[in-house]
Structure 1
């Protein structure tokens, strides 16, 4: 069994896999790291590998306390990836984006792929049908959009994610919800439309914490999977350690 761990900016997501089968998913704050991982290893005593991708502030050394019980596999830029990286600044490309691109290549061979990760930031990553990674875009996610309106104005409240109900907000709160949710949906649809006009044989993968919330608001046909990064971690580990 493999335990995959995605250390994000605001929380940690982990999943237990038996071969290609996802057994259980856990989401928890950084401060609960040691206790949660300890409980997972006690519950699933057949776990032999802990595969980690981290963009958060959790120190790599934190994982080494479990190295006497499981193999720790850190995903780094020096690992083998199933795509040709044509990013102009590969040393700045986030490990999470590389894992998502790898997962798309391994799960959807021979297609043009756009991977959209709707989390703290929204990232767009394009890998063509020849498994060449070209790059993409980064924009603020829903939480950052709400926080920026509150932090950089005098009177706008701090809101949390909520269905705006309609395109036209009839109050300040509903107008803010419409701006955040509908604005982001229009952005995502516009990005997809622009890429699809230039590429055929296309699949769009939507993942991240806000994936399911946003999926039903998009006009484009997408493959929505909030656990795609965790699944990609599992597939990438198997790819990097194939015999």
Structure 2
């Protein structure tokens, strides 16, 4: 069995895999997550390999835990990858985006795949049927757009994501912002999918990230929603390292 952990600035995500299947996954604040994963080891004996990535701070307690329980692999920009990376500035490519492409290669090896990650930012990444990563795009996520409207104007309120009470026209400033931001993102995603479909045949579209559950039902295009796609990608990279 494999364990994969992604340590961010405020949250840690992780999973335990038995072959291709996720048998446990969770996300929590760093201290809470460390306690959670420690409690899982007694349940899942034979979990010996660990791949971790750390964009946030990793302290000695984490390092000691890793080294005492696993054969450890660190995922960074020097890690060998199971696909060809054509990004011109590979050291600036987010590890989360790399993991998403690895998941696409692992699950859809001979297909054209567009991966859309709807989180803090919305990222679009494309893997060809030849397993070449050709690049992608980045735009502001839902919450970033709400923040910008409040920060860069004098009177617009700071809103959080919720369903507007009137649609498609807002009858209040609150609903006008909600409709504008949400439908702006939905239309952006649909238009990007349409553009890729016009250029690449038999396109598979994956939607993941924290806002995917809210957005997936509103998209006109057919997509596969997968909230654990990044974790699948981390496991794919670990399997590649183990078999290399």
Q: Deviations over 1:157-195 (max 9, x none)?
A: 222111235221111111111122111111111111111
Runs of 4+ in 1 over 6 A off after TM superposition: none
Matched, 1:172 2:182: no
Contact 1:115–1:125 (8 Å) recurs in 2: yes
Q: Residues 76-95 of structure 1 correspond to what in structure 2 (within 5 A)?
A: 76-95=76-95
Q: Residues 56-71 of structure 1 correspond to what in structure 2 (within 5 A)?
A: 56-59=55-58, 63-66=62-65, 67-71=67-71
Matched, 1:125 2:125: yes
Distance 1:226 1:15 in 2: 12
Matched, 1:103 2:103: yes
Contact 2:13–2:27 (8 Å) recurs in 1: yes
Distance 1:36 1:169 in 2: 43
2-11 or 212-221, larger mean C-alpha shift: 2-11
TM-score scaled by length of structure 1? 0.92
Matched, 1:160 2:160: yes
30-39 or 210-219, larger mean C-alpha shift: 30-39
Distance 1:150 1:83 in 2: 41
Structure 1 residues 117 and 62: alpha-carbon distance in aligned structure 2, compared to 1, 3 A threshold:
farther
CA RMSD of aligned residues (A): 1.9
Distance 2:190 2:9 in 1: 25
Distance 1:167 1:77 in 2: 44
- Report the equivalent of 2:20: 20
Contact 1:205–1:224 (8 Å) recurs in 2: yes
Q: Deviations over 1:29-53 (max 9, x none)?
A: 2353433333333443442222213
Gapped runs of 5+ residues in structure 2? none
TM-score scaled by length of structure 2? 0.91
- Report the equivalent of 2:222: 221
Contact 1:50–1:72 (8 Å) recurs in 2: yes
Gapped runs of 5+ residues in structure 1? none
Structure 1 residues 191 and 172: alpha-carbon distance in aligned structure 2, compared to 1, 3 A threshold:
same
Distance 1:60 1:81 in 2: 26
71-80 or 109-118, larger mean C-alpha shift: 71-80
Distance 1:226 1:20 in 2: 16
